[in-house]
Every structure is written in structure tokens, then in C-alpha cells.
């Protein structure tokens, strides 16, 4: 019996010390993934980083055991952010890197994410080969004298910061910032980076703790009420910065304490980059990459500037692959991940923080002023617990399409386009709605946008939910 161990963002499951099911993440599973990866690499050097989750330690030791058993040299970084791990390979002359994390998931989850030396996550084809070796137990056989070695690297945060500060230069002594790392692995590197720029900082939830006592790890609106209140009552702070558990996501709050929509910020940064560098940009460079669930304001703002928007499946790896294959200067997702190809192909919140603050300093404007030129389209999203692990195949998509055609007919709206790149996206006059299964947790996600009003978007989402309940996909 074969197992599909990889999802949208590597492997991610609830930790258990022993289980006969691949639905849980056990040290035994980590050992065998290490054996499979080591076999795939045929030896070589692998860098390993971990986040602050309590289950990261047994998973790390098991993974290292599998890798060195196949002759790999392992370099451990200890607790680091995912961006730091993603950029580390090229400095450490590694053949691959592994981050042990469950990103923004709740504390009981743990997982692995695999990276190429370029900072690009493993492609679906690479993951399929690892999966094949794992399922067939076709592990390389090594002799006692072929076992690999393990060394520890202590200064990788300093290397990451130096790489950024050498290329993004400004004096931030006039800025006041509140940082909320959410008790995650960004607790050390982000304040350290801001100090290098002479920025005045205040931190909350800045003690590393894998139980996430300060707030839930995902930097969502409901989880960022504390930092929002601080900004609203404080006359000094100019901006808020919030991260998830492994700091691959970053959410900004403006000087009024309002959460900045990541796609509006992506659009703003792309627009300013084009305006400042248009003469230097080739046609191949004039592209940004974003998934199918991102706002259409990207096209509305950037297409008139001559910039193409590359649409992908959901997931930062898909965004990065599009940038690598087709060119482009920036990528991003609705979740708050941003990719800067000139640095590396991994999502990097640390670079993004420096870029946003440099933009504020160079413009002489605060973030809310800068965003005035970027439209705000009404957007609404919900997630619903799946009744069972339903495969979202051609048959399921067909059922969803038939159901949604009835919804649009009842509302007197015409479907202009149906896109099945990832789930089912329905574009209609004035907006769109997307229905897709989450790639990282057992949920159905329904999101939609209108360039007219929020009420119509919410109404359409609610009707879609009713149809999904009738199809017996989600709970009431």
C-alpha cells in the first residue's frame, strides 16, 4: 500500500510518538524520510533547521539518523526561521536543506519542508521520487565505514542579516515599530535585523515557546487584536509587524493599527519597483507571480504598467517555480509570503521587512499614505471542516461546477470563466469565487472577491457553502 506523504507545503501532520498510520507524523516516519532523501541525493550535504515546536527535537534526531545512515553529511542550524534555512544552502555548499516545522498550524502539528540550494522548495517531481523511494523502501545500503557526519553551524542568522543589510541600505532611526513574532522562531532574528537599521522597537510575544502561549501561530485578524490595539493607542509606533511560527509569513499593520492586505502590499511593492526600475527591466523581468486565490487588483494595477501576472496553484513553491521558469522580480500569496528571486527562491519575511521599511523611509510617507493609490476590493474567505478526506479529482470538480452553475443562475449572474488550476475558480462580471481543498489541513476553503461591494461577495460565499453541504463535503 502506497502513501501520499507530501501536501501543498511539504509534509505536515499531527505528531505522535508511535502510530501505524501515515496520518500521524512519527519519529519512525522521519527516519524513513531521511533514508529516502539520502538515497535520492546519493550522499551529499544536507542542512537542517528546526522551529520552536516541542516535537521538533525527536523528529530532527530521527531525520538526521536516516540521512547519515545513507552517507550524507548533515549540518544542523538549531532553531531558525524557514527563510533563514531556505537561504542557507548556498552559503553552506549544501545539496539540499530540510526545515522541520508546521508553519502556522496549531502546536500539535509538525512537518518537513525540503529545499533546493537555490532556495526553491522541492518540486512535485522531486517529492514524487522521494515518495516512491519511501513507499518501496528502496533505501541505499551503506557499510559501517560509509556513515556520514554531523556538524553544527552557529552563525547563520548573522549571515542572513548581513546579506540583507549589504543590499538593502537605509537609516531607520526615525521609525518606531512593534514586533509580534508570535513566540516563534523569528523572536531572535527580526529584532536583531531592526537593531542593525537603528530602528526603535517594542516587542510582544517575543519569547520562543512551541505552545504559542501569547497567541495562535497564524497571524490572522482575530489573532492580531493585541498588536492592533497597541498601535491604535500609541502615539509613537509607526508600523506593526507580525509573524507566524516559522516566520515564512509576515503581516504588516499600518500606523492606524489596521492590518494591511498582503496582496495590496504586494501590488504596492511591485508598482513602486516598476516605476523606479522600468528602464532596467527586460520583458522577462516584468512579471510577478501569485496563486489563483489572489486579488485581481494585481492585474488591474500592474498590467497597464506592462507587467504580466503569472497565476499558479496555491503554495509558495508553485509561486517560486513560476518565477524560476518564466522570470519575474517578485512573488507573493494572500497568506503573507513574499519571494524575492534576486536573493533566493524561498519565501522570506526577513527580506520583506527590510524592503517595506526602506520603501517607507525613501518615500517619506507612512504605510497608510502609500497604500492610498492601491484599490481595495471587497474580499471574503472562510474555511470549513471536511467530513472526510475527499479526493478533489475531476469527478468532484465536475460536481462542484454543476452545483455552482445553479447558484449563479439563481443570482442572475453569468460565469465568464472557470479555472480548475487549483480547485474551481468562477470568474463573473464584477468578481470571482474559488472553492478548493486546503493542501495543509482537512478543510475546504471558499474565498471570493468583488470590485463592487462586500455584501454580494458574502452572499455568494454563503450560497456556495450551502451547495457544498448538499454535496456532503463539509459539516453544517
Residue bearing the bigger pLDDT, 124 or 252: 252
Q: What is the pLDDT of residue 128?
A: 95
Residue 1 confidence (pLDDT) above 70: no
- pLDDT tens by residue, 172-219: 999 999 999 999 999 999 999 999 999 999 999 999 999 999 999 999
Judge contact between 52 and 209, C-beta under 8 A: yes
**Which pLDDT belongs to residue 19?**
83
pLDDT-derived band at 280 (thresholds 50, 70, 90) equals: confident
pLDDT score at 424: 94
Write out the three cell numbers for 205: 510575544
Q: What's the sign of the alpha-carbon dihedral 206, 212, 214, 216? A: positive
Active site includes 103? yes
Q: Which pLDDT band, with edges at 50, 70 and 90, does 439 fall under?
A: confident
Is the model's pLDDT at 3 over the cut of 70? no
The pLDDT score that the predictor gives to residue 395 is 87
For residue 182, is it left (φ>0), alpha (ψ between -120 and 50) or beta? left
Task: For residues 356 and 210, give the distance between their C-alpha atoms in angstroms, rounded to a whole number.
Answer: 28
pLDDT at 209: 96
Q: Span 251-280, mean pLDDT?
A: 94
Under the banding of pLDDT at 50, 70 and 90, the label for residue 467 is very high
Name which of 90-94, 151-155, 409-413 the model is least confident about: 409-413
Task: Say what percent of the chain tops pLDDT 70.
Answer: 99
- At residue 393, the pLDDT reads 83
**Cα–Cα nearest to 19, from 3, 43, 35:** 3
Chain segment 35-46, per-residue pLDDT in tens: 999 999 998 999
Contact 328, 288 (CB under 8 A): yes
Span 378-406, average pLDDT: 88
| Residue 419: pLDDT over 70 | yes
Q: Cell 518564466 sits at which residue?
A: 326
Three-state secondary structure string covering the chain: CCCCCCECCEEEEEECCCCCCCCEECHHHHHHHHHHHHHHHCCCEEEEEECCCCCHHHHHHHHHHHHHHCCCEEEEEEECCHHHHHHHHHHCCCCEEEEECCCCCCCCEEEEEEECCCCCECCHHHHHHHHHHHHHCCCCCCCHHHCCCEEECCCHHHHHHHHHHHHCCCCCCCCEEEEECCCCCHHHHHHHHHHHCCCEEEECCCCCCCCCCCCCCCCCHHHCHHHHHHHHHCCCCCEEEEECCCCCCEEEECCCCCECCHHHHHHHHHHHHHHHHCCCCCCCCCEEEEECCCCCHHHHHHHHHCCEEEEECCCHHHHHHHHHHHCCCEEECCCCCEECCCCCCCECHHHHHHHHHHHHHHHCCCHHHHHHHCCCCCEEEEEEEECCCCCCCHHHHHHHHHHHHHHHHHCCCCEEEEECCCCEEEEECCEEEEEEECCCCCEEEEEEEECCCHHHHHHHHHHHHHHHHHCCCECC
Position 74 scores a pLDDT of 98
Average pLDDT over residues 30-58: 97
Q: What is the pLDDT of residues 420-434, one digit of tens each?
A: 999 999 999 889 999
Q: What is the pLDDT of residue 465?
A: 93
As a whole number, mean pLDDT of residues 320-327 equals 96
Place of cell 522600468: 278
pLDDT at 141 over 90: yes
- 78-127 pLDDT tens trace: 999 999 999 999 999 999 999 999 999 999 999 999 999 999 999 999 99
Residue of 88, 103, 206, 335 with catalytic role: 103
Task: Pick the more confident residue, 459 or 165.
Answer: 165
Task: Place 450 in a pLDDT band, splitting at 50, 70 and 90.
Answer: confident
* pLDDT above 90 for 370: yes
Does residue 361 carry a pLDDT above 60? Answer: yes
- The whole-number pLDDT of residue 45 equals 97
- Rounded Cα distance between 84 and 186, Å, is 10
Amino acid at each position: 500500500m502506497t502513501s501520499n506523504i507530501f501536501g501543498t507545503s511539504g509534509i505536515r501532520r499531527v505528531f505522535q510518538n508511535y502510530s501505524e498510520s501515515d496520518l500521524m507524523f512519527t519519529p519512525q516516519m522521519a527516519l524513513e524520510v531521511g533514508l529516502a532523501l539520502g538515497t535520492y541525493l546519493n550522499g551529499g550535504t544536507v542542512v537542517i533547521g528546526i522551529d520552536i515546536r516541542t516535537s521538533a527535537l525527536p523528529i530532527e534526531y530521527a531525520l538526521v539518523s536516516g540521512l547519515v545512515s545513507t552517507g550524507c553529511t548533515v549540518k544542523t542550524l538549531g532553531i531558525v526561521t524557514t527563510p533563514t534555512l531556505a537561504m542557507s544552502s548556498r552559503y553552506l555548499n549544501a545539496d539540499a536543506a530540510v526545515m522541520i516545522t508546521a508553519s502556522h498550524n496549531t502546536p500539535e502539528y509538525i512537518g518537513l519542508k525540503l529545499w533546493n540550494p537555490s532556495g526553491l522548495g522541492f518540486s512535485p517531481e522531486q517529492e514524487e521520487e522521494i515518495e516512491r523511494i519511501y513507499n518501496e523502501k528502496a533505501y541505499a545500503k551503506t557499510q559501517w565505514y560509509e556513515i556520514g557526519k554531523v556538524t553544527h553551524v552557529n552563525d547563520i542568522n548573522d549571515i542572513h542579516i548581513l546579506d540583507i543589510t549589504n543590499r538593502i541600505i537605509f537609516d531607520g532611526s526615525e521609525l518606531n515599530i512593534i514586533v509580534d513574532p508570535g513566540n516563534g522562531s523569528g523572536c531572535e532574528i527580526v529584532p536583531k535585523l531592526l537593531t542593525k537599521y537603528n530602528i526603535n522597537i517594542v516587542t510582544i510575544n517575543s519569547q520562543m515557546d512551541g505552545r504559542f502561549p501569547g497567541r495562535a501561530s497564524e497571524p490572522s485578524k482575530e489573532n492580531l487584536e493585541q498588536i492592533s490595539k497597541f498601535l491604535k493607542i500609541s502615539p509613537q509606533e509607526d508600523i506593526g509587524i507580525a509573524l507566524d511560527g516559522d516566520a515564512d509569513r509576515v503581516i504588516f499593520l499600518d500606523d492606524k493599527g489596521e492590518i494591511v492586505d498582503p496582496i495590496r502590499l504586494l501590488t504596492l511593492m511591485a508598482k513602486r519597483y516598476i516605476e523606479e526600475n522600468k528602464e532596467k527591466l527586460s520583458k522577462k523581468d516584468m512579471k510577478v507571480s501569485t496563486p489563483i486565490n489572489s486579488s485581481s487588483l494585481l492585474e488591474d494595477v500592474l498590467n497597464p504598467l506592462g507587467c504580466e501576472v503569472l497565476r499558479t496553484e496555491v503554495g509558495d513553491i508553485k509561486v517560486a517555480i513560476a518565477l524560476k521558469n518564466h522570470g519575474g522580480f517578485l512573488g507573493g500569496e494572500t497568506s503573507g509570503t513574499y519571494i524575492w528571486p534576486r536573493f533566493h527562491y524561498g519565501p522570506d519575511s526577513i527580506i520583506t521587512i527590510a524592503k517595506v521599511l526602506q520603501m517607507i523611509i525613501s518615500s517619506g510617507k507612512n504605510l497608510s499614505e502609500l497604500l492610498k493609490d492601491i484599490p481595495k476590493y471587497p474580499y471574503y474567505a472562510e474555511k470549513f471542516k471536511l467530513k472526510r478526506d475527499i479526493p478533489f479529482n475531476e469527478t468532484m470538480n465536475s460536481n462542484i461546477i454543476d452545483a455552482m452553475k445553479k447558484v449563479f443562475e439563481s443570482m442572475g449572474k453569468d460565469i465568464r470563466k472557470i479555472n480548475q488550476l487549483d480547485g474551481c475558480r468562477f470568474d463573473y462580471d464584477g468578481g470571482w469565487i474559488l472553492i478548493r481543498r486546503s493542501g495543509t489541513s482537512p478543510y475546504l476553503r471558499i474565498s471570493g472577491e468583488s470590485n463592487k461591494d462586500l455584501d454580494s461577495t458574502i452572499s455568494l460565499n454563503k450560497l456556495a457553502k450551502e451547495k457544498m453541504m448538499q454535496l456532503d463535503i463539509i459539516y453544517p
